[in-house]
Amino acid sequence: MIRTSRIRCSASATSFFSSVKMGPADPILGLGLAFNADTDPKKVNLGVGVYRGDDGKPFVLESVKKAGGAYPHMEYAPISGPPGFVGKAQGLAFGENSTAIKQKRIASTQSLSGTGGLRVVSDFLARFLPSKKIYVPNPSWGNHLNIFKDSGLDVQRYSYFDASKNALNFEGILKDLNAAPKDSIVLLHACAHNPTGIDPTKEQWAEIINLVSTKQLFPFVDMAYQGFASGDLDRDAYALRSLTETVPNLALAQSFAKNFGLYGQRIGAAHFVCKDAEEADRVLSQVKILIRPMYSNPPIHGAHIVDTILSNPDLTKLWKSELKDMADRMNNIRGRLVQELAALGSTRDWSHITKQIGMMAFTGMSKAQVDRLKAEFHVYMTDDGRAAISGLNSQNVQYVAKAFHEVTK
């Protein structure tokens, strides 16, 4: 019989992890932790972009409930996801009558929501495109910079927002993109720009797309809010579809977190528009090679829900109706907030809030004002003054308006 002795770990032993430093909390998700720790009954979370009903509670779409039955099996999905889901994702983004789809020029894969789609695309672009420069709007969703830098891309910024006017800096966009070197990647928000909520008009999009085409830039589109911006799926996909008709290549990261309310399911897709079907096959083969050591196979339940809804005309109709209701509530609560501020006698111009669309409002408040909101009123927003409008409802909008007024008067 072999005797073994238990070896005790000495408290003085050197740890392999001793050099690991404490990292900072995520600037957006960290707000949720601070909010949860706050015991004030009047607290309001305008930090994380998650839709809430007018009762302030998490909202599950009726169409999702009806489609959410158990998946028939628990086998691995293909690396690129279930074909039915991937096809439905293509049609939703590019349109059922898309020439690119008919010509089989789009290489598509399921992704781990929008973030995963962004990472798959950026890793692919860093590996295969001639230029590693990516031009990102200033401001943009904070995680864009983390993703692109971790993928090895060289992040540059282009003007987008005029803080003095709380409006789009269209001339700045054209100037900066015109100065970008040939073959550079340019990130474009398809709709409901995050964090500003300000989108170019159709006429402005036409100029931007023409410039991208003329300068031979590579468009990388992030579409996290299709249907959630205006309530109209086709309207919100206008820029993407116009680009697809104009340029030979582009990439798209598509998310179903917001428009299906499937935040925790992490469902999205990554698409690559190619020159022809043969090129699309080659691109998809390399995308699969990239995904295999990353996470190998995507989750199936959320994909099953999306596929079921988009395959059933009645469920699709119900989903579109619910989507419009959510978008309308966001627009209505914007108007209510501005009305309450006016009723309080605020002399500040808040009209930009009603001109913006989508889940986010760029309030124009400073970090010092945001800090006061948290400390004195228990209203939580990101330091740049971005407010998730979805956190407002008929029960708290008056209180939030009062808080906004107090810190800005």
Contact between residue 92 and residue 271 where contact means Cβ atoms under 8 Å apart:
no
pLDDT in tens, 191-209: 999 999 999 999 999 999 9
Residue with tokens 């992704």: 111
Give the separation between CA 152 and CA 137, rounded to whole angstroms. Answer: 18
Mean of the pLDDT values across residues 60-89? 92
pTM summary value: 0.94
pLDDT tens-place string over residues 104-113: 999 999 999 9
Handedness of CA 179, 184, 190, 191 (dihedral sign): negative
Separation of alpha carbons 43 and 27, rounded Å? 18
Q: What does the mean pLDDT of the chain come to?
A: 95
Check pLDDT > 90 for residue 178. Answer: yes
Residues marked as catalytic = 141, 222, 258
**For residue 294, how many C-alpha atoms fall within 13 Å in the half-sphere facing its CB?**
19
Residue type for 181, please?
P
Q: What is the pLDDT of residue 7?
A: 60
- 253 touches 118 (CB < 8 A): yes
First-to-last C-alpha distance (Å) of the chain: 82
Residue 16 has pLDDT above 60, yes or no: yes
Residue 185's closest CA among 247, 257, 111? Answer: 247
| Beta pairing, strands 379-380 & 44-45 | parallel
Position 6 scores a pLDDT of 64
CA distance 324 to 230: 8
Q: Which residues make Cβ contacts (< 8 Å) with residue 91, sequence separation at least 6?
A: 98, 101, 310
| Per-residue model confidence (pLDDT) at position 94 | 99
Strand partners, 273: 106, 250
pLDDT of residue 11: 62
- The confidence band for 378, taking pLDDT boundaries of 50, 70 and 90, is very high
Cβ burial of 335 (10 Å; 0-12, 13-18, 19+) is exposed
Q: 41: how many CB neighbours lie within 10 A of its CB?
A: 6
What span, in angstroms and rounded, lies between the C-alpha atoms of 81 and 226? 21
Report the pLDDT value the prediction gives residue 48, as an integer from 0 to 100: 82
Q: Which residue has the tokens 């599950």?
A: 60
Domains of the chain (ranges; CATH) run 27-60+324-408 (3.90.1150.10), 62-315 (3.40.640.10)
Residue 85 has pLDDT above 70, yes or no: yes
Identify the pLDDT of residue 30.
85
pLDDT digit string, tens, across residues 30-68 = 898 999 999 999 999 999 889 999 998 889 999 999 998
Percent of the chain whose predicted confidence (pLDDT) is above 90: 90
Strands (E), 57-180: 106-112, 133-138, 154-159, 161-162, 167-168
Looking at the predicted structure, is the pLDDT value of residue 1 above 60? Answer: no
Per-residue DSSP letter, 389: G
